[in-house]
Amino acid sequence: MPSSRDVVFVDGVRTPFGRSGPKGLYAETRADDLVVRVIRELIRRNPGLPPERVDEVAIAATTQIGDQGLTIGRSAAVLAGLPKSVPGYAIDRMCAGAMTAVTTVAGGIAFGAYDVAIAGGVEHMGRHPMGEGVDPNPRFLSEKLVDPSALVMGMTAENLHDRYPSITKDRADAYAVLSQEKAAKAYADGKIQPDLVPAAIRTAEKGWGLAVEDEAPRPGTTMAGLGGLKTPFRPHGHVTAGNSSGINDGATGCVVAASDVAAELGLSPKMRLVSYAFAGVDPEVMGVGPIPSTERALRLANLDISDIGLFEINEAFAVQVLAFLEHFGIADDDARVNAYGGAIAYGHPLASSGVRLMTQLARQFGERPDVRYGITTMCVGMGMGGTVIWENLA
């Protein structure tokens, strides 16, 4: 039986995230081509890693059809020019797809089945809207296995406001403004650009171009501006387009390796995987998922929430982040949380977002050698949460 090995996060990159739809950055760009860009950039940025040493390519997509289908981990690896000897596969855990890609290959590395792997995710929500082509079993509703609202993410966020009456619409909007301000500052300070890989884009109207920055952020967002937005999921509700993540396109990827192999190849890992956990919750309040998954990950690592110096929480909805913070007794504007802003600003191309969290945490670790532990966590459609705890190697 092989003994467990330390697993490290070597490097992560992503395409800029676009707004979905006919006018978005990637309206006429294939999803698999976005993944190819990411894989090629990871190989280019890590010259010590011979492509034939990559033992696995795990790529997540929530809607696995069309240009996001065909076992995208394998097909994108071939398209990216990796040796045909490098295998690959596809993963689906909705929003936590890329996170699950990382934890799954990490388990293989710890066990000794792999030395080095590439893991990531893609979502082209413009080409493949969430739920396209799905056929939910009628028993879900006929046998009342879930509330009908469980199948509409915005309604699950309204349900969360019901469960946490202290989280008002004003609090959610204030959190959203803060996310936009942090993202604008991170861009101004050059914190985001180093991990973006420019992607070629084309439209029939404008011809060829280059996507070099995220399309979704709205700097200058104000409480007054958010106050006037419609609440599409409930009359006089709390959830708006302004205090939620958008509908987006984009891809992410990272290199994960055994600690000793990274050293052998001369790679410079940024963080070590300490523990991870996934947990299930009632699907109609899926936003609380990160609470039990984080409690479990902390327990496995023998750590306490007070040991965590940085948090990267996916901002599917402001209410879901605030519920997490309220549960753990953390202030809405705590500087440890989403220091560069989050998905309310950058967008949330479902299956890709987990690695964006990791990349941003790794970048912050580099600036903060005083911080030892950080968390990446997210809520997941169908009532789940996922959490990974990392140790700073800076």
Residues forming the active site: 95, 348, 379
- In 262-272, which positions are buried (b, 16+ CB within 10 angstroms) versus exposed (e)? beebebebbbe
For residues 350, 244, 285 and 314, what is the CA-based torsion angle, rounded to 10 degrees? 50
Reading the block at residue 85, the tokens are 């000897």
Q: What distance, in Å, lies between the first and last C-alpha atoms of the chain?
A: 32
Dist. CA 29–CA 203, nearest whole Å:
9
Determine contact, residues 368/335, Cβ cutoff 8 Å.
Answer: no
Determine contact, residues 248/17, Cβ cutoff 8 Å.
Answer: yes
Reading the block at residue 138, the tokens are 């009628």
Angle CA 150–166–246, to nearest 5: 45
Within 10 angstroms of residue 102's Cβ, the number of other Cβ atoms is 32
